[in-house]
Structure 1
Amino acid sequence: MRLISQNGEFDVPYEIAVLSRTGNIIRVYVPIVGEKGTIMATYSTEEKAKKVMEMLHNTYTGAFFAQNIEVPEDIEKEFMNMAATKGFGIIKTAIDSSDIKFEPANIVFRFPEDDEV
């Protein structure tokens, strides 16, 4: 997953970054960049910054789950297991097939502007 700063100036891979929230500021630390950290977003309140961190966590863990076909309960359990263990992506299957395929999604999370939270 890619993280885009609020102003669009920074683009970092989430898998090698460490994020921290101090009050209303969210910073990213990437080993190559250094120890100071880079400000990814600033919000008017601490509550908004907390909400954005929650949005980020939900995006990364694949909290979004959609189903547009009816599937047997055992297959649905397999879908949920894939979503829980393989990250965010798309689970594909055909109605008349037992083949199930997981395709990772190319996810980009851009920190929203203050008035979008």
Structure 2
Amino acid sequence: MRVISQDGTIDVPYEMVVIQKFRNAIYFLNRNLTGVEGLINDIALAEYSTKEKAIKAMEMLREAYAGKPKLNVDKIPNLTPQEFGEKLGIGDILLCNKVNADVSFSSNYYFQFPQDDEIEV
């Protein structure tokens, strides 16, 4: 899975980095934790107005990685499977039977940290 920063300027492979919440921000570090000295300002993936929003963003990342993003289906208009996949930021939808059904999909997907105003806690 690819992890995209809130502003879209950073794109890292989830399996190769450590992602950590510190205060109201989300940061990434090289998985072997070398070569990051002096890069603190360059490794921020997202920043939120509250600690609770940062925690919620980390939960959303874990759900995306697990392959079961929680969706508010009331806010999703009638979409084709391709449009639905594009909204989720994933490759192809393999299964989407009905409303509130589990959604399975390919491993070719990404997660972009949402903007502050897009997170409800």
TM over 0.5: yes
Give the strand-richer structure, 1 or 2: 1
Instruction: Answer yes or no: is 1:50 the counterpart of 2:47.
Output: no
Unaligned runs of 5+ residues in structure 2 are 71-94
Give every structure 1 segment of 4 or more consecutive aligned residues whose post-TM-superposition deviation is greater than 6 Å: none
Q: CA RMSD in A?
A: 2.6
Give, in angstroms, the shift of residue 23 of structure 1: 1.2
Q: Contact between 1:44 and 1:114, CA under 8 Å: does it hold in 2?
A: yes
Unaligned runs of 5+ residues in structure 1 are 70-79, 81-87, 91-103
One-letter code aligned to 2:14: Y
The 3-state SS of whatever aligns with 1:28 is: strand
Distance 1:16 1:111 in 2: 17
- Percent identical pairs in the alignment equals 43
Give, in angstroms, the shift of residue 21 of structure 1: 0.4
> What is aligned with 1:60?
65
> What is aligned with 2:46?
41
Q: Contact between 2:24 and 2:47, CA under 8 Å: does it hold in 1?
A: yes
Q: Contact between 2:19 and 2:26, CA under 8 Å: does it hold in 1?
A: yes
Distance 1:33 1:9 in 2: 20
Distance 2:117 2:69 in 1: 23
Q: 1:89 to 1:33 in 2, by over 3 A?
A: farther
> What is aligned with 2:110?
108
Q: 1:4 to 1:54 in 2, by over 3 A?
A: same
TM-score (norm 2): 0.62
Give, in angstroms, the shift of residue 67 of structure 1: 5.2
> What is aligned with 1:14?
14
TM-score (norm 1): 0.64
